[in-house]
Structure 1
Amino acid sequence: MKKRGIQSRDVAAAKAETLIEALPWINKMYGKTFVIKYGGSAMEDKELCARVVADIELMKLMGVRVVLVHGGGKAINALLKRLDVPVKFKDGLRVTDPDTMEAVREVLIGKVNQELVWALNEYGHNAVGISGADGKTLKAEVVDPELGRVGRVREVDTNLINTILDDGYIPVVASVGCAPDGFLNINADAAAGKIAEAMGADKLIYLTDVDGLLEDVNDPESLIAQMSRAETHELLDSGKLDGGMIPKIRSVASALDSGVQEVVIVNGKADHSLLLEIFTDEGCGTMFTQD
């Protein structure tokens, strides 16, 4: 039953104003293709995940073609700890021996992917889960023998993803690639970037655990609101980046070089950060644009 009264009317009016503000953005975004990389704490926390999934579903209802690409680093670490398998990283990439590769497949394809598909399908018949090995979507090659079964995306076949989109579903892609000799572990940031490039995506969004790119990692107030393609390359060459931010910014630069118009890093732990970025005047996070 609807509530009546002046106070309820004022609340409803505020909501209506929000919708009016979003109207030109909805019109602008209709039919666009967005690739969203999802990971970190925003995916591990069930309540946060439910809010992000609701935002994605609303985007779909508003006519945005959404491709969701995910990792699952924390869940992989948890399984490896239970299996007593050492966890090692080099330049932000997970060192992946055969045992680790088995754990990556089990977590990404068998657990995380299916949980995201289930969450999206709570709103209807909305999502189909695949890995990069399905339909040879992510054809990859070994990056460095010292990293083991870590792959670099050599080619993206978008046929399966486009078929899923054209049938009215959201493709949920686990970042596992295929090579002639088996499966490869693909960094999810890099996988999302390569998919965005191959699809000619209008926007690539990284949902992460921070508000965006910080000038000083110890100062949350030092958020960089916007960077050009040239500035992004300068940052990569500066040596200031470390850890997981290296492959992330590398994939940002590659996506811009390949013609993606906008790349955004936003905090997936903030309420409705996706909607604020896409459907409001203010936006949030760090936006990377062409020069």
Structure 2
Amino acid sequence: MQKRDRRQRDLARSKVETLTEALPWISQMSGKTFVIKYGGSAMEDDDLCRQVVSDIELLKLMGIRVVLVHGGGKAINSLLTDLNLPVSFKDGLRVTDDATMEVVQEVLVGRVNQHLVWALNEFGHNAVGISGADGKTLQAEPADPELGRVGRIREVSCELIETVLEDGYTPVVASVGCGADGFYNVNADAAAGKIAEAMNADKLIYLTDVDGLYRDVCDEDSLVANLTRSETHELLASDSLDGGMIPKVRSIADALDSGVREVVIVNGTFPHALLLEIYTDAGCGTLFTQDEPGPSGSLERSSNV
């Protein structure tokens, strides 16, 4: 029998070391509930989408209950442009008149949601697509008259999501809410945060196309590795955030206030970022945690990369 060369042995040893590092995390995470908000370029690129979908399938095989929440901002912008409709934002939220709301529904529920369900099912994942209006999952009210049909979530019903999970399926939730007067465009970051709160999720993951939170978006060295709940509130009060990071960090602070133990912003364009975050000692992205130490006996990370 021909012996393997040194390079092959080193590669095999590296794989064994990776598996050994992952084992305690696999044991601790089994049975946990993770809410993953999926958006940005990680969702638009087909190759990246397949990679993320395969990682989610692995999480399910490892015993994690996954709830996938998505937006679809770039796809909405594209269709609005094709229809010669205005694209306008205020404080990171889309200004949504009645015509824009119809586009939001068509894109999120009719296109993006079904594409993600199809992709997950192709990997054998048994996914079910729902919108926030199904089962009154996301009940909303007007957020600001200047934003039109942008909704603030006033109540979350987890009954449908829990039923889907208990039946062995993965719920894929489009961020469209419902109210007494019809449908609302709900920010996907806020939707993921509120669902995580209502489900008492163990971890909330924002899978996007940035490495994490930067104190200065123009300075690559200003990436923040860790923030506590108190530090997150201080950051919000400083008015140093802009664009889409405002509703994201606000939803993170709300989730921490409601008892979600960990929230993380992860770059979904980085290969297998989900697995690196969940199953390695270092993790990746920006990790937001409670002020107090974790429960006794739980694994803790000293820092992120």
TM bucket normalised to smaller: over 0.9
C-alpha separation between the residues in 1 aligned to 2:12 and 2:114? 37
C-alpha separation between the residues in 2 aligned to 1:202 and 1:241? 26
C-alpha separation between the residues in 1 aligned to 2:65 and 2:287? 20
Determine whether 1:167 maps to 2:167.
yes
Give the corresponding residue for 2:303: none
- TM-score normalised according to structure 1 size: 0.97
Give the corresponding residue for 1:157: 157
Give the corresponding residue for 2:284: 284
Give, in angstroms, the shift of residue 4 of structure 1.
7.6
Question: What do residues 54-93 of structure 1 show as CA deviations (whole Å, max 9, x unaligned)?
Answer: 1111101000000000000000000000000001101110
Give the corresponding residue for 2:77: 77
The one-letter amino acid paired with 1:261 is: R
The one-letter amino acid paired with 2:176 is: V
C-alpha separation between the residues in 1 aligned to 2:184 and 2:232? 28
C-alpha separation between the residues in 2 aligned to 1:202 and 1:160? 19
The one-letter amino acid paired with 1:27 is: S
Residue 67 of structure 1 aligns to a residue whose secondary structure is strand
Give, in angstroms, the shift of residue 229 of structure 1.
0.5
Give the corresponding residue for 2:98: 98
Residue 153 of structure 1 aligns to a residue whose secondary structure is strand
C-alpha separation between the residues in 1 aligned to 2:12 and 2:127? 31
C-alpha separation between the residues in 1 aligned to 2:57 and 2:246? 30
Give, in angstroms, the shift of residue 215 of structure 1.
1.5
Give the corresponding residue for 2:119: 119
Unaligned stretches of 5+ residues in structure 1: none
C-alpha separation between the residues in 2 aligned to 1:115 and 1:10? 40
Unaligned stretches of 5+ residues in structure 2: 292-305
C-alpha separation between the residues in 2 aligned to 1:284 and 1:221? 15
C-alpha separation between the residues in 2 aligned to 1:89 and 1:4? 62
Determine whether 1:194 maps to 2:199.
no
Give the corresponding residue for 2:148: 148
C-alpha separation between the residues in 1 aligned to 2:63 and 2:13? 25
C-alpha separation between the residues in 2 aligned to 1:160 and 1:287? 29
Give the corresponding residue for 2:204: 204
Give the corresponding residue for 2:233: 233
* Contact 2:127 2:169 survives alignment (8 Å): yes
C-alpha separation between the residues in 2 aligned to 1:172 and 1:41? 18
* Contact 2:57 2:125 survives alignment (8 Å): no
Residue 68 of structure 1 aligns to a residue whose secondary structure is strand
The root-mean-square deviation of aligned C-alpha atoms, in Å, is 1.2
Question: What do residues 146-202 of structure 1 show as CA deviations (whole Å, max 9, x unaligned)?
Answer: 111100111000000001111111100000000011110000000000000000000
Matched-pair identity in %: 74
Determine whether 1:179 maps to 2:179.
yes
C-alpha separation between the residues in 2 aligned to 1:230 and 1:102? 39
Give, in angstroms, the shift of residue 125 of structure 1.
4.5
